[in-house]
Structure 1
Amino acid sequence: MSMLGRTFISRCLFSLIAAKLDGSDRGQGHFGPLANMGLDTPLRADEANSALNIDSLKLMSLAMDVSTLFQIPDSGLEDYLLRGQTIGDWVDVVMESRNSGAQALAFTSSGSTGEPVTYRHEWIDLLDEVRDLAPEFAAHLGQSIARVVVCVPTHHIYGFLFGIVLPAVLDLPVLDRPQAMLTAHSGRFSDGDLIVGFPWFWRALAQAGTQFSESCIGLSSTGPLDADITPRLKAKGLKAMIEIHGSSETAGIGYRSHSSDPYTLMNRWRVGPDKARLARNRDLSDTVLLPDRFDWVDPRRYQLRGRLDQAIQVAGYNVYPDRIAMQIARHPDIDQAYVRLMRPGEGDRLKAYVVPSDEDLPPAEVKKRLVKWCRASLTTAQMPAVITVGSALPMNSLGKPADW
């Protein structure tokens, strides 16, 4: 039986429902739905004072998301979700499902490199990860963790591990969004805080000059943290920053406390003989491909050398969106670029989102110059069929590239 009580399951459901209602899985999102949600919130639009205000089709979609996240079909109780009248009823179904044997969870990737993919994780693996890292966090703090300040969505695997599982295992108080974001904005951290953030969040605090209590540590994941960010945060009082490397498929793989150091492989993993796979120590036959390019220092430490090439097919040709984005970003009028495959309803070609280096240059002129350059520099399969111009790249609630 898991140790996830009603409060922890509720927080995860609130995060999932708010993200789906607000669309924050495709953008930065706001916290309106999250702030107005409670266990007694009615699920149906015809109920008075419902904060959800959704129709039956949206309700069914949400129920499927909840069922997938908590792997409720393992218990055979998935039909009970649509009988629920309030969010609290859904929490009851999840708890009963877990008590009836549905212990696994499934998390969906951000879709930053293509269509989102859902990966199943066994509960014991998630427990092993937080139990492995908890002593590391306490060692950097110089004391026991006093509180977890969660500034990330808890329905994604990173937020779930350190915003749900960790405080459940250690019986810790939690400050969750949106209150956690308000605390971060005002710098009202306390001694013993473990602050769970992501690169975009940490960059924003560094730029704002946020002051920290002397005994706070930060946690960052979901993408690389710029090398200058941690020193700037430490200059304002942050005691340590621990970077977690992983993916939706693997959960955490390694960690480090200095940007120049190699990552240390988590205890639950072992590198395979071909150094292209990882095996779980509890079952060496259970292996996964490395999600990135690893440069192994020794069997327990590695440096990251970038993502593995994400080739996709366009008109029968292999193309590499990340490489194309790097080429486009070299154009003198372009500051940043992001390239991805169109969604099925949009077409079967690439599309690009670009941020011009000169904000005063009209978008139409940016497109005109870029199209001319693309025709001369890219193959037909590589050339984006649609170019969108904006002031900033679209990001999801974890600071990863989002679709548009």
Structure 2
Amino acid sequence: MKAFSLSEDQIARVIGAAAADELSRRFNRHADFLTIASWTQNTPLGRGGLSLDEEEKIACARRAATLFGLEADYLAERPAEKIADWAHDLAAALSAGLTSFSFKPAARNDEDAAFTHNADAIYQDAAAAANVLYGRRRLLSFVAPHSLLGLELSVLTPNLLGIEAVDARGMTPDELSKNLLFGDVLVATPTLWRYMMQEELQAPDNSLAVSFGEPMTPELAVDMRKSGFGVLRELYGSTETGLMAWRDNPGEAFVLFDHWRREGDGLMRLCPDGEARQVEAMDLMAWTGERSFTLSGRRDGAVQIGAVNVFPEAVAETLRAHPHIKECRIVVGRRGDGAARLIANIILANKTLPNERTARDIDVWCRVNLRQQERPQIYNFEMETGAPA
């Protein structure tokens, strides 16, 4: 593992994805999926590329440096015109040794919160994933590589397997259908899998589908098998804990990877340095055996929407700050395909009418103050008196 290395192209992909996330978190700047996927080594940091002002450039440089375990200002004080400049400087620094990674969770409770993991532990996770993906010819990834599981699955795992890694984020489902080959594995979140199924993605024989980030539903698994994926793998883990378990079907229990042990009702991680570390999973676990479990909800009340942890009460609190809203309660519903969605039950302030103007004003508020996954998809309005609107 000490000899493990990342290419400048791989580092550049991670930098681009991390920059998009940082701009969204810190500056409320959102780029579409295809635009982010197009950011490569040759993408300018300024005009014609990421279009970073000086404050944004410093923030993105710090995010990139700390993600790879370096001091926050390692890149911020270096001249750079393109993503390639940062990737080159990081590659030079990491050639002396990569000791840790630092990842921000998808939930945005604290924009500066990050979780640091020893590099050997991250490689251990990738090796575990490689064991259940062994025998594949190529790995195509539809997910961004800046998160813990995204990096492990789309970059580190194919490196360890010695197979080609293809960044599929810029491909349409039609292009994916044409590019998938016998023996490939495709990595995506359930939300992205639903999109690909709706667009009628077709897979060749002996294709493997990998899913993570939010619960896989039986209905979605059936659709994926019908599209040609003969084998499914669902992986479980989190930014806080690392990769923990896997299963083949939504109705089955998850099985711990070999570097995890059940410890009473908790968990023990066997680290590469020999340390046995107690870990509390982010989800409540119902044990079905010494190494198998099912999930029964998050400990912190979060729900997973589009592979992002969303806190309904925090969303409700944001909506309560709107001048037209006296009270708000957020509940979680399910669409026909099993995907979770937020429903906002709103009591309007005195003299506020439940008309199109009010709805439009609240919608604009949500677009400014909430990320896409945090925005309610259904609004139910009541007058302050409690009478139905």
TM-score, structure 2 length as denominator?
0.74
CA distance in 2: counterparts of 1:264 and 1:402, whole angstroms: 34
Report the equivalent of 2:18: 16
* Counterparts in 2 of 1:160 and 1:72: CA distance versus 1, 3 Å: same
Report the equivalent of 2:5: 3
The one-letter amino acid paired with 1:115 is D
CA distance in 2: counterparts of 1:293 and 1:157, whole angstroms: 21
Contact 1:33/1:51 (CA < 8 Å) preserved in 2? no
What SS does structure 2 have at the residue aligned with 1:32? helix
Report the equivalent of 1:30: 33
Matched, 1:92 2:88: yes
CA distance in 1: counterparts of 2:202 and 2:28, whole angstroms: 29
* Counterparts in 2 of 1:254 and 1:236: CA distance versus 1, 3 Å: same
Q: CA deviation at 1:102?
A: 3.7
Report the equivalent of 2:347: 371
Q: CA deviation at 1:109?
A: 0.5
Deviations along 1:39-86, whole A, 9 cap, x unmatched? Answer: 3444345xxxx412221111111111111211112xx97156532332
The one-letter amino acid paired with 2:183 is G
* Counterparts in 2 of 1:351 and 1:126: CA distance versus 1, 3 Å: farther
Contact 2:58/2:76 (CA < 8 Å) preserved in 1? no
Contact 2:174/2:201 (CA < 8 Å) preserved in 1? no
CA distance in 2: counterparts of 1:61 and 1:403, whole angstroms: 29
CA distance in 2: counterparts of 1:123 and 1:149, whole angstroms: 23
Q: CA deviation at 1:14?
A: 2.5
Report the equivalent of 2:385: none
Deviations along 1:331-376, whole A, 9 cap, x unmatched? Answer: xxxxxx9442557xx69x996668999xxxxxxxx98x7417xxxx
Q: CA deviation at 1:248?
A: 0.7
* Counterparts in 2 of 1:94 and 1:257: CA distance versus 1, 3 Å: same
* Counterparts in 2 of 1:41 and 1:259: CA distance versus 1, 3 Å: closer
* Counterparts in 2 of 1:119 and 1:223: CA distance versus 1, 3 Å: same
Contact 1:185/1:205 (CA < 8 Å) preserved in 2? no
Matched, 1:264 2:255: yes
* Counterparts in 2 of 1:277 and 1:12: CA distance versus 1, 3 Å: same
Report the equivalent of 1:122: 118
* Counterparts in 2 of 1:96 and 1:350: CA distance versus 1, 3 Å: farther
Q: CA deviation at 1:176?
A: 0.9
Q: CA deviation at 1:150?
A: 0.8
Moved more, 179-188 or 281-290: 179-188
Pairs within 5 Å for 1:144-155: 144-155=135-146
Report the equivalent of 1:63: 61
CA distance in 2: counterparts of 1:291 and 1:356, whole angstroms: 21
Q: CA deviation at 1:162?
A: 0.8
Report the equivalent of 2:293: 302
Report the equivalent of 1:275: 265
CA distance in 2: counterparts of 1:163 and 1:41, whole angstroms: 21
Contact 1:69/1:105 (CA < 8 Å) preserved in 2? yes
Contact 2:200/2:227 (CA < 8 Å) preserved in 1? yes
Contact 1:167/1:174 (CA < 8 Å) preserved in 2? yes
Pairs within 5 Å for 1:231-250: 231-250=222-241
CA distance in 1: counterparts of 2:94 and 2:327, whole angstroms: 42
CA distance in 1: counterparts of 2:174 and 2:193, whole angstroms: 14
Report the equivalent of 2:129: 133
CA distance in 2: counterparts of 1:105 and 1:271, whole angstroms: 25
CA distance in 2: counterparts of 1:38 and 1:275, whole angstroms: 45
Contact 1:106/1:119 (CA < 8 Å) preserved in 2? yes
Contact 2:62/2:73 (CA < 8 Å) preserved in 1? no
Larger RCO (alpha carbons 8 Å, 6+ apart): 1
The one-letter amino acid paired with 2:347 is V
* Counterparts in 2 of 1:38 and 1:276: CA distance versus 1, 3 Å: closer
CA distance in 2: counterparts of 1:267 and 1:292, whole angstroms: 19
Consecutive unaligned residues of structure 2, counting only runs of 5 or more, are: 304-310, 335-342, 349-360, 378-389
CA distance in 2: counterparts of 1:356 and 1:72, whole angstroms: 42
The one-letter amino acid paired with 1:340 is A
* Counterparts in 2 of 1:123 and 1:63: CA distance versus 1, 3 Å: same
What SS does structure 2 have at the residue aligned with 1:204? helix
The one-letter amino acid paired with 1:9 is I
Report the equivalent of 2:352: none
Deviations along 1:239-296, whole A, 9 cap, x unmatched? Answer: 1111111111112111000111110101111222x32243334444422212111111
Contact 1:148/1:167 (CA < 8 Å) preserved in 2? yes
* Counterparts in 2 of 1:220 and 1:82: CA distance versus 1, 3 Å: same
Report the equivalent of 1:170: 161
Q: CA deviation at 1:213?
A: 0.7
What SS does structure 2 have at the residue aligned with 1:228? helix
* Counterparts in 2 of 1:28 and 1:183: CA distance versus 1, 3 Å: farther
Consecutive unaligned residues of structure 1, counting only runs of 5 or more, are: 139-143, 311-320, 323-336, 358-365, 373-386
Contact 2:61/2:75 (CA < 8 Å) preserved in 1? no
Report the equivalent of 1:360: none
Contact 2:130/2:158 (CA < 8 Å) preserved in 1? no
